[in-house]
Structure 1
Amino acid sequence: MTRLEQGIQYMQEGKWEEAAKLFTEEIEENPSNPIGYVNFANLLDAIGDYERSIAFYEKALELDPKLAAAYYGLGNLLYQQEKFESARAMFELAMQNGLHNSDLYFMLGFTYVELGNDRLALPYLQRAVELNEGDVEAVFQYGLCLARLGHVAEARPQFEKAIELDDEHADAYYNLGIVHAYAEDNGKALELFRKAVALQPDHYLAGNAIRLLEQNLQ
């Protein structure tokens, strides 16, 4: 196991100091290797030292302007800071430089959602699901995006899949209830809204939907 691999393992175990020591040694011994800086940046991000994390990602990009992992890391940091337009640019640079995994497509799609552009978000969320069908949040957000764009019938199997992956996903039950209400299947919709509230008693939207449907059924 290399020093960097050992450091990453320490990070996964929450051994921050041990990981930092190894990454520091790697940078000191191989200052021209950008991967050391990326790993240290990841660690700093994980412990909340965002300013220094950005500096290490930028150093990695100075050494290798085509390092997709650094663009992706920067994009995540900028997203956390709600700098969505800048995050979008970083995610697109990561993609242009060869990163094509489900996490990148999800983050790029969700960034477009935050920017209020569901039309551009949709293909990225769809691709994220295609690459990782077991990612419940990607499946759910893809369904939401379809629904917001008026593709209600297409959204339904995504919400059903989200529930299949996580049978305690209150928001998926609620939104599937909306789909059934839209189809005027009020009995099924009410059942799904009640399930959402049972899982999350403070689910205001589901609670309100129950009251409205019960009034209509009476």
Structure 2
Amino acid sequence: MQRLVEGLEALKAKDLEKAEAIFAEVVEMAPGLGAGHNNLGMTILQRTQDLEKAGQLFSEAIAKDPRLYDAYLNLGSVLMSQGRMDEARDTWMKATQLQPARPEAFHNLGIHFSTHSQYAQAKSMFERSLQLDPSNTDEYLRLAMVYSELSEYYPALANFLQVLVRNPGHFESRLAVAEIYRRMGRYPTALYELQQLHEIFPEDVGLLVRAGLIFVETNQIPEALAVFSRALELDPEHRDVLEVLAVIHEGQGENDKALELYQRLALLDPDSEFCREAIERLQPLISQ
């Protein structure tokens, strides 16, 4: 009907008051039209964030038209916002049965399952979502993160690389690729990826820490010292950097340098039992 179209145009133009008035009129004129209730609920949700009222309208839309896919999507989102997770999941499951060729409900279920650390189920949902919409770059990222949680490293890499093909500068994906290579024991490749990022973000201490830890893990102590020393120049109060440097210097028998670093760390964390024990251990050695 014409008024429904006018309401949708107002909603698209972000004229929410006008859209709400039109959809309220549609609901009054055609109370059996599920789309009217659904669109009124969407408008109220955007205008006032009234979850209770919007949820009621979405439920009414489904009651009027049990095959109204968008109403199930919207109701599921409201239920999730209300903390009613199981009901949200069940609502989206019904949506997948109604429209198995549309990706939105599968996407929402993937988010739901990954939020609850149910990664195998999340993987299945994101895979289906991508089958239906292969152009969704963000979905490749979500699926890659799920694969990574499942320690399925090769599929994780493949999906992170799909993101990088579409967006070569995507920091999070390149960082994740470096971490996966590290977990796989492919340390030179991991360091290469970190170096690529470091050239773009030369003052990112986190990148230096990751590279330094790889050098420690592979017993390349001089390289680790150089990287962590540079990190400390950039952030003199970085606790992890201070701690790792102190441990390395102590392991090298450089007790005076280690003690200085433990003391600096103790100033930042006066309650640290670790620092107290280290200082007590080293002070007698230096005074000898």
Tell me the TM-score normalized by structure 2.
0.67
| Structure 1: gaps (5+ residues) | none
1:30-179 equivalences in 2 (<5 Å): 30-47=30-47, 48-98=49-99, 100-179=101-180
Q: 1:4 to 1:203 in 2, by over 3 A?
A: farther
Q: 1:145 to 1:4 in 2, by over 3 A?
A: same
Q: Distance in 1 between matches of 2:191 and 2:165?
A: 19
Q: Distance in 1 between matches of 2:130 and 2:136?
A: 7
Q: Distance in 2 between matches of 1:55 and 1:101?
A: 24
2:135 aligned counterpart, secondary structure: coil
Residue 32 of structure 1 deviates from its aligned partner by 1.0
What is the aligned length?
216
Q: Distance in 1 between matches of 2:160 and 2:213?
A: 22
Q: Distance in 2 between matches of 1:62 and 1:68?
A: 12
| Structure 2: gaps (5+ residues) | 224-288
Q: Which amino acid aligns with 1:175?
A: A
Residue 107 of structure 1 deviates from its aligned partner by 0.8
2:24 aligned counterpart, secondary structure: helix
Deviates more, 1:188-197 or 1:68-77: 188-197
The alignment yields a C-alpha RMSD, in angstroms, of 2.5
Q: Which amino acid aligns with 1:134?
A: S
Q: 1:194 to 1:86 in 2, by over 3 A?
A: farther
Q: 1:56 to 1:170 in 2, by over 3 A?
A: same
Which residue matches 1:181? Answer: 182
Q: Distance in 2 between matches of 1:51 and 1:202?
A: 44
Conservation of the 8 A alpha-carbon contact between 2:11 and 2:43 = yes
Q: 1:189 to 1:31 in 2, by over 3 A?
A: same
Conservation of the 8 A alpha-carbon contact between 1:84 and 1:114 = no
Which residue matches 1:21? Answer: 21
Which residue matches 1:11? Answer: 11
Residue 81 of structure 1 deviates from its aligned partner by 3.5
Conservation of the 8 A alpha-carbon contact between 1:68 and 1:99 = no
2:126 aligned counterpart, secondary structure: helix
Q: Distance in 2 between matches of 1:40 and 1:20?
A: 6
* Post-superposition CA distance 1:10-41 (Å, at most 9, x none): 22222111211221221121111011000111
Q: 1:36 to 1:193 in 2, by over 3 A?
A: farther
Q: Distance in 2 between matches of 1:72 and 1:178?
A: 35
Q: Which amino acid aligns with 1:169?
A: H
Deviates more, 1:27-36 or 1:76-85: 76-85
Conservation of the 8 A alpha-carbon contact between 2:69 and 2:98 = yes
Which residue matches 2:193? Answer: 192
Tell me the TM-score normalized by structure 1.
0.86
Q: 1:154 to 1:44 in 2, by over 3 A?
A: same
